[in-house]
Amino acid sequence: MRCLILCLLLLTSFAQAQLSPEQREESSDEIRDQIRREYGEPTAPDPHSFVSTIFYRIVEVTERKDIQYRVSVVQEDNSVNAYALPDGQVVFLTGLLNRLPSGDEDAVAFVAAHEIAHLERDHLGRLARNAGMTSLLLGLLTQGSQEWLQLLANVTNNVLVSGYSRGMETEADRRGMELMTRAGYDPRGALTTLELFQQIASQSPGLDIFPTHPHPADRYRDAQAYLKSQGLAVNEERPVSPRQSQPRDGALARRVHDYARQAAPSGVGDPQAARAALQRVLELWNEPGSPAFREAVRAWQAGRDSLSFPPEQWMEVLQLDLQLES
């Protein structure tokens, strides 16, 4: 009886524990090594790129803040997949990004939000705790020793090969749509993306499409049911990109202008020219259709890397860029 009570107390404590930073880094290194072997080296995209802007806009609304979210891309066109590493890195394969509808922010946002949701909900940690509880229980009951250091490596390898459970993938889809909504995207973009995955799967049987996820048709039905439960009309036509109707915020532009005036030079380009271009953007703010305004925007976007913004200001710079591109 004492052994059983001890088992229950230890299992309860183990179930509530989270992966330590060291464990997250160790398991992430395992995944990165396998990605390198399978596909190539993950690299960070340009911070002004389409995928970076969307990714970090969703990161802003996440509830989990104890990891450093960052996005990477691998040049691999023959596989349609993405990976969320427990230390906060999300890796997209170009085989996925290049097949998403061009310019459709909602479609890209769903893929990014799905992977971020895996991290926010600590799915890999939950799998590790479940596996650890099983090993712990067997070890206590048999009084045998366990290979604890191998446990996390086995869990991460299983995720790469077999994926998360169906329940975790469904949770990531649903939580992803919630994050999309909070970040200002239309969650019905999930249906566009999942429908596209269905078409790819049927038209390209040799293509390795999301091998670690449930079938796109099942995910489509689950997403459709969730959106209906939220009162959204899933059959209504959706604008291709919310950038077309995004309001332009003059207060935001003035804040970024103030940041630019105080920002230190980055050592690349001409910071004075960048500040002058942004000043010109403000002067022409009420003439967004004029050639002069568009020229000022192009000059600002071409020169903004000459200024060094702290992270909290950089997010507002990216927000302004979205509006200027509308």
CA–CA separation, 200 vs 205, rounded Å? 8
Tokens encoding 115: 């992977």
Strand pairing of 264-265 and 208-209?
unpaired
* Catalytic status, residue 30: no
User: Of the residues 115, 171, 178, 237, which is catalytic?
Assistant: 115
CA distance 131 to 144: 16
Residue type, 244: Q
From the number of C-beta atoms within 10 Å of its C-beta (0-12, 13-18, 19+), residue 113 rates as buried
The tokens describing 95, both together, are: 């085989």
**Alpha helices of 235-284 — where are they, by DSSP H?**
250-262, 271-283
Return all residues near 11 (Cβ < 8 A) that are at least 6 apart: 133, 136, 137
Sign of torsion, CA 128 134 140 142? negative
Which residues are registered as beta bridge partners of 73?
Answer: 43, 92
The CB-side HSE value for 319 (13 A sphere, CA atoms) comes to 21
Distance CA 252, CA 30 (A): 42
For residue 255, give the amino acid letter.
Answer: R
- Write out the E strands in the chain: 70-74, 79-80, 82-84, 89-93, 208-209, 264-265, 307-308
Rounded-to-integer distance, Cα 137 and Cα 143, Å: 10
Nearest residue to 175 via CA among 242, 122, 97: 122
Q: Which residues are catalytic?
A: 115
